[in-house]
Amino acid sequence: MISLGIESTAWNFSIGVVSEDEIIALEGNAYSPKEGGIHPREAAQHHSEIAGDVLKRVFEKVSSSEIDVVSFSQGPGMGPCLRIGATVARAIALKLGKPLVGVNHCLAHVEIGKWLTNAKDPVTLYVSGGNSQIIARRGDRYRVFGETLDIGIGNAIDKFARHIGLPHPGGPGIERLAQKGKRYVEMPYVVKGMDFSFSGIVTHAMRLCDEGYRTEDIAFSFQETAFAMLVEVTERAMAYLERDECLLVGGVGANKRLKEMLETMCKERDAEFYAPPAEYMGDNGAMIAYTGLLMAEHGITMETQDSQVRPDFRIEEVRISW
């Protein structure tokens, strides 16, 4: 079976085509705001302007007649952005006369991570712009064992980065600054049970930079503190659930220091650490195509009239039959 998948939850409009064995095509066009963070309507406008070109590039690599199913990111995400992807998907499905599959975006991050790393039953740390969750499968559902109480770690990093004049997305810039940090400055470490919060760190880090602390030291301290919170909860979930695999997914997963901290934690408890290649860490169409393929193979498709986007779609709502 060959599945085409469209990702459009936030900054990236991306289309992937996959079979059971390989990623056949992946084309995209990223939106980057001129100033400030991602503006949902502007991002949606971007997606609608470039969608045709991205699709054209995909169909230069794969013939449309080879497509068996059309998948799209149904949520969670920004409503206006989601609607562009869903509209394009509906149009392609109708034109080709193929079934349509609405995919949960978080589930797609987990499934492509498992597929590309061969992890079997991991505790997944999913860290992206809008989301930060610790996820593991129990029976026929993925469950969220811990998550952010306010903003996602990616948005927290981006907000701090903007304050000190770095371009969006701020993750890579903060990582480079942090590598030059020499001194740890204490930051609010907020873990409540299995949940955590990042807004306190952002406010504190911004204030210290305004007071004249070296941005390198603050970026370093920010990363050390926020990542330690994530690693603590991930480890506790692994202990509770008696799992010996840890999978890292989501755009923030590109960060070398976060990887290193998780690797150390895994080594200390004799667990395996997995992370997919950087290209498939952040939002991409291949993850939607692959999860859509799994769903279609298990008979989960939808009618066009049931394909409304779901900005608050949670991973627990999906029954897993594979």
Residues that bind ligand AMP (CB under 6 A): 10, 128-129, 154, 157-158, 169-172, 175, 250-252, 254-255, 282-283
252 binds, among Mg ion, ligand AMP, none (CB under 5 to 8 A by kind): ligand AMP
Residue 250 has which token pair? Answer: 């989501």
Task: State residue 142 phi and psi, 5-degree precision.
Answer: -85, 140
Q: Whole-angstrom Cα distance, residue 248 to residue 273?
A: 8
Which residue lies nearer to ligand AMP by CB, 31 or 59? Answer: 31
- Beta-ladder partners of 71: 5, 101
Q: Whole-angstrom Cα distance, residue 106 to residue 10?
A: 13
DSSP β-ladder status, 69-75 and 3-7: parallel
Residue least distant from Mg ion (Cβ): 128
CB 199 within 8 A of CB 156: yes
What is the 3-state composition of the chain as percent helix, strand, coil, each rounded to the nearest 5?
A: 50, 20, 30
User: Residue 115 CB, nearest distance to ligand AMP (Å)?
Assistant: 17
**At a CB cut-off of 8 Å and minimum separation 6, what does 111 contact?**
287, 290, 291, 294
Sign, Cα dihedral of 148, 82, 167, 164 = negative
Q: Which stretch in 86-94, 147-155, 160-168, 278-286 sits in contact with Mg ion by CB under 5 A?
A: 278-286
283 binds Mg ion (CB under 5 A): yes
Dihedral Cα 217, 220, 225, 227, nearest 10 deg: 170
User: Residue 109 CB, nearest distance to ligand AMP (Å)?
Assistant: 7
User: Residue 168 CB, nearest distance to ligand AMP (Å)?
Assistant: 8
User: Residue 99 CB, nearest distance to ligand AMP (Å)?
Assistant: 27
User: Residue 65 CB, nearest distance to Mg ion (Å)?
Assistant: 31
301 binds, among Mg ion, ligand AMP, none (CB under 5 to 8 A by kind): none
Tell me the CA distances in angstroms from 233 to 5, 126, 230, 249, 299, one per residue in order.
32, 12, 5, 15, 35
User: Residue 155 CB, nearest distance to Mg ion (Å)?
Assistant: 11
Which residue lies nearer to ligand AMP by CB, 155 or 307? Answer: 155
171 binds, among Mg ion, ligand AMP, none (CB under 5 to 8 A by kind): ligand AMP
Which residue lies nearer to ligand AMP by CB, 30 or 194? Answer: 30
Q: Which stretch in 123-131, 161-169, 179-187, 289-297 sits in contact with Mg ion by CB under 5 A?
A: 123-131
Letters for 124-163 (x = contact with Mg ion by CB under 5 A, - = none) are ----x-----------------------------------
Binding site for Mg ion (CB under 5 A): 128, 283
